[in-house]
Structure 1
Amino acid sequence: MPTAGTRVARRKRAIDRCDSRASKETTVNPASPAAQQIETRLRHRYEEIWSDIRRELGKHDEQRYRDLVQGAGDPEDDATANLLVDLNLSEVDRDVEELRAVQGALGRLRRGEYGRCQNCGQQISPARLEALPHAALCIDCQTRAEQSRVSTQSL
């Protein structure tokens, strides 16, 4: 069974392989057919996210929760209703965060900055952009940001 150190080393090698593939130019000329394809894909994702947000907000409107709470009058039902509202809002928050990321990617595409890490300026690997077209950070910077966020949350 691999140790934690072995898993970390394997992940680092995988990241290095991705970064070596990123050496080819991945910024996109805003007028190119590739940019138009990317823009279409990003705009499609934008519409999907908006649809998800509208569906989530419509699915769990305030009246529905009020009916649930008033119907039983039980404190446990109140807690359940509050939990459902919180879960719904968490989903919407994640969708809004992704919506902002897509908007940012569309802006970078228009400015000719799409495909460059917003932190270090290096190229973002084509595989990463294919998997996550609105990625703003390369794998190394994203990993560091996530590690920093985790260590900050644990304080």
Structure 2
Amino acid sequence: MSELSQEQLTQIKEVLNQRYQTVIEEVREELANAGQHQYIEIIGNVPADSGDASMGDMLADLNAAMIDRQILEIRDIEAARLRIKNNEFGACQDCGEGIAFERLMAYPTAKRCISCQQQYEKTYATENIPSL
């Protein structure tokens, strides 16, 4: 566990709570507007051609991808809250060293210190990228 003061933990909890509420609201808005996109005007109820249908499909997929990203962020926030509860918050999951308070304020769900995160990104940068 990193050496975060109680005041620092309180600040991080506040940032996590604010971000959680923001993301929940974004998901609610996305779901509420799922059937009311601007592209409905383009394609109407029956697409005029395959290009219009493709555009409608792409925008629907984009909406789903945005919701997926937001759900992943909610899970990260919940995991960070659990690490706080279990006194495991602020420690790098790779090297065990403390994660800097400044990093945690900027990215409160961080699981790694800067150097381990850089190494992780170099190692896994091409993972899940399709190739021919």
- TM class by shorter-chain length? 0.7 to 0.9
Alignment equivalent of 1:47, drawn from 11, 21, 24: 21
Contact 1:117 1:124 in 2 (8 A): yes
Residue 28 of structure 1, CA deviation: 3.7
Q: Which runs of 5+ in 1 are unaligned?
A: 1-24
* Amino acid across the alignment from 1:119: D
RMSD, matched Cα = 2.6
Gaps of 5+ in 2: none
- Residue 78, structure 1, aligned to residue 47, structure 2: no
**Percent identical residues:** 29
Scaled by the length of structure 1, what TM-score is found? Answer: 0.70
2:92–2:99 Cα contact (<8 Å) kept = yes
Looking at structure 2, the residues matched to 57 and 149 of structure 1 have their Cα atoms a distance apart, in angstroms, of: 32
State the secondary structure of the residue aligned to 2:18.
helix
Say which one has the larger Rg: 1
The one-character-per-residue Cα deviations of 1:82-131 (angstroms, maximum 9, x if unpaired) are: 10011111111211111111111111111111111122211112221121
- CA gap of 1:37–1:130, structure 2 versus 1, over 3 A, is closer
Establish whether residue 122 from structure 1 lines up as the match of residue 97 from structure 2: yes
Greater than 6 Å deviation, 4+ residue runs: 62-67
Partner of 1:142: 117
For this pair of structures, how many residues does the alignment match? 129
Compared with structure 1, are the counterparts of its residues 90 and 141 closer, same or farther at alpha carbon in structure 2 (3 Å cutoff)? same
- What's the CA shift for 1:63? 9.0
Give the structure-2-normalised TM-score: 0.80
Given that 2:15 and 2:105 are in contact with CA atoms closer than 8 Å, whether structure 1 keeps it comes out as no
Rounded to whole Å, the distance in 1 between the matches of 2:50 and 2:22 is 37
